[in-house]
Each structure stands twice: as C-alpha cells, then as structure tokens.
Structure 1
Amino acid sequence: MNSRKVVFLFFTTLLIGSVSGAIVGFILDYEMYAEGSFLNLVFGVVWLLGISAAFTLISQMGFFAYLTVHRFGLGLFKSHKLWNAVQLILIAFVIFDLIYFRYIAFVEEGQTIVGYMVMPILLLAYGLVVAYLKARDTHEGAFVPALFFMVVVTTIEWVPALTVNDPKWLWLYLTPLLVANTYQLLILHRLTNQPVK
C-alpha cells in the first residue's frame, strides 16, 4: 500500500467517523443543540465533529495496532488455527467482562444483569455481521481476525466511556469507533489490491 492510499484511508476514515458521531450526538441531545441561537447550533455541531474526530483517531490507532498484533500473533503461535482459537477465547473473555464487570461496578437497586447484556450482545452481533462481510469479500480465514478486531479492539478503544457509564456518552463514543473500524476493515483489502481467494 503506497502513501497516497494511506493518506486516503486516514482522511476518509476521519471524515466518516466524525460525521457519524456528530449525527448521533446531535440526535441524542437534539434539544440542547436546537434550542437557543444559531451560534449555539453551530458551536454544538463543531464540538460534536471535533470530539467524534478524536474518537475516530483512537479508532485509527487501534486499527494499525491490531495489524501489528495480528502479525505478531501469527508469528508467535505459528498456526492460523491456534491464533484463531486464542482470539476466540479473548472475544469470549471480553464479552463476559463487558457484561459482568460493568454490572458489578454500576448496578443499582432493582436492576438485573440482563440490562447490562444488551450492549455487549449487540456489539457481538454487529461484529459477526462485519466479519461475515469481510470473509465473503476476501477469504474465510479473515472471519475470526475481523470479529476479534470488531469486538476486542473496539472494546479497548471504548474503555474511557465505559468507566463513565452514561448512556449518551457510551453511544456518542461508540458510534465513530464502530463506523471507523467497520470502514477500515472492509476497505483495506480493496486498497491493498489483494485478490479474493
């Protein structure tokens, strides 16, 4: 992949992630941004774009870090099957942590663990869809790494919002991460011109 493609990937990811986060943030706090003066709206949208751009940059760092970790894992375990098994175990561990540890940390009287299962299960379901698309467009061996990236790496990037446990902040942070991670994952093989196996 040449430098032009890297620059293209960087700026298109930044744009898509920033806009997606700004749209969701605007919808979540519509009254706050829509009420008042026109300047309030403009500054609100600029703030949303800026904060979403920051989250998108975190996504980009996570993506390139995972590409390195993936190569390291393949070299360490000397086998795609063994490395995939390790990744599946880590996916299960992360989903469990997202449910159980958030429940332990934030449960209030009258709440059950079921409410804390919704977001992790939705993230896993979304990751399965994206991994399927990646495997369909490339080869079946891409399924587990894509699922790992979408679930585990996205969760690591999402940690600052998870510690706050504010629903609006969770969605505002997660949206640009998911959109940017999905875009990067699904466009990479097109940019590198790898033939479909």
Structure 2
Amino acid sequence: MTSRKWVRLFLTTLVLGGVLTLLTSFVVKADAYANVLRPFDFFELIGLLLFFSGLGFIFSIISQMGFFAYLTVHQFGLGMFKGLWPAIQLFLIAFTLFDLVYFRYQAAGKGASVWPFLLTALGLLAVSYIVAYVKRKETNAKAFVPALFFMVVVTTIEWVPALRSDGQDYVWMMIIPLLACNAYQLLLLHRLNNKEPHNN
C-alpha cells in the first residue's frame, strides 16, 4: 500500500469514527444535550459536539491500531502455525464470545440476567459474520476465518476500556464506531491494494 492510500484510509476512517460517535451520542447521551438546550447554551452545545467528535476520533485511532496489529499477528500466525492457524483463530473466536458472556455476567453480580450479555455477543457475532461473508465474496474463501477473527476478537479487545466502565453509555457509544471502522478498513483494504489479497 502506498503512503497516499494509507493517508486516505486513515483520514476516511477517522471521519467515519467521529461522525458515528457523534450521531450515537445524540441517542446515548440525549440527557446531556437536553441540559444544554433547556435553556439553550450555544457554547456548551458546541463543546459537547466537539467532545463527542473528538472521542470518535480516538475510537477510530484505536480501531486503526487494532487493524494494523491484526495484520502483523495474522502474518505471524501464518508463518508459525501454518495450516493450524485457521483452527486456532476459530478457537480464539469461541473463547472471546464465551468470555464476553460468562465473565461479564459473573462481574454483574447476583440478580443480573445473562440475556443482555448473550444478546450482545450474538449481535457482535452476527455483524462479524456478515462482514466476513462479504470479504469472502469479494476476495476468496480463505479470507473468511481471518475476517471473522478480526471482527470478533480484535473488536472485543479494542472494546475492553468501555466494557470495564461502570455505565452502559460508553459501551454502546464505543462499539458502534469500532464495528463500523473495523468493517470499513477490512473491506477497503483489498480495493486499495488493487488486487485480491490472500488471507487478509
């Protein structure tokens, strides 16, 4: 990938993260916007918009760091484990989904329902499967498992700071731009390279 294409990928992903986080904040942080609209405070509203946009830029950068780390780990895995690498990735996907449900449920304490955690993991898997399927259709069959691994495992690792927070606001505010940015980078990579990748 040329430096010009990398800059394009970086900037478009940055904008995507900022815009989606800002849009998500209108729903997740509706009370914060209500406080500055009644009574109307222009400067505080601008401050909120800048804050959530900046937060989205940070989420986007986390996504991009995860993407390039994934590319390195993937090549390392191919070189070290060779034919076993797809099976190892599937195991890590299963473990991550189990972790996303079981350990979060245990941390929630007594009286908590397992269903929100289960539905969250299933939602992540469903979105990841769709993205991996598109990647496979646009490239080759070998790209499916690595794409699914990236969307499930790497996204979850990037999501950890929000998952460890006390409230649920930032859990949802972070996962939407992360999923979008990760999917965008994954599906744009082979187009920027102008050739069909192998195992990307």
TM-score, normalized by length of structure 2? 0.93
Aligned to 1:155: 156
Structure 1 stretches of 4+ moved >6 Å: none
Does 1:23 find its partner at 2:27?
A: no
CA distance in 2, matches of 1:164, 1:141: 36
Task: Specify every segment of 5 or more residues in structure 1 that has no aligned partner in the other structure, as ranges.
Answer: none
CA distance in 1, matches of 2:57, 2:14: 6
How far off its partner does 1:55 sit?
Answer: 1.0
CA distance in 2, matches of 1:149, 1:129: 13
Aligned to 1:6: 6
How far off its partner does 1:71 sit?
Answer: 0.2
CA distance in 2, matches of 1:162, 1:47: 20
Does 1:41 find its partner at 2:45?
A: yes
Aligned to 1:132: 133
CA distance in 1, matches of 2:109, 2:122: 18
How far off its partner does 1:97 sit?
Answer: 0.3
Aligned to 1:93: 95
- Which amino acid in structure 1 is aligned with residue 175 of structure 2? L
How far off its partner does 1:41 sit?
Answer: 1.6
How far off its partner does 1:166 sit?
Answer: 1.9
CA distance in 1, matches of 2:129, 2:157: 18
How far off its partner does 1:13 sit?
Answer: 0.5
Aligned to 1:176: 177
How far off its partner does 1:107 sit?
Answer: 3.0
TM-score, normalized by length of structure 1? 0.94
CA distance in 1, matches of 2:150, 2:184: 12
Whether the 8 Å CA contact 1:58–1:157 is kept in 2: the answer is yes
Deviations 1:17-61 (Å, cap 9, x if unpaired)? 111111101221223224231222211110000011111101000
Q: 2:67 aligns with which of 63, 81, 96?
A: 63
Does 1:123 find its partner at 2:124?
A: yes
How far off its partner does 1:78 sit?
Answer: 2.0
CA distance in 2, matches of 1:104, 1:134: 35
How far off its partner does 1:149 sit?
Answer: 0.2
CA distance in 2, matches of 1:16, 1:75: 33
**1:83–1:179: structure 2 CA closer, same or farther, 3 Å change rule?**
same
Aligned to 1:107: 109
How far off its partner does 1:165 sit?
Answer: 4.5
Aligned identity (percent) is 51
How far off its partner does 1:150 sit?
Answer: 0.3
SS of corresponding position for 2:194:
coil
How far off its partner does 1:133 sit?
Answer: 0.5
Whether the 8 Å CA contact 1:154–1:177 is kept in 2: the answer is yes
CA distance in 2, matches of 1:45, 1:108: 38
CA distance in 2, matches of 1:63, 1:56: 10
**1:108–1:45: structure 2 CA closer, same or farther, 3 Å change rule?**
farther
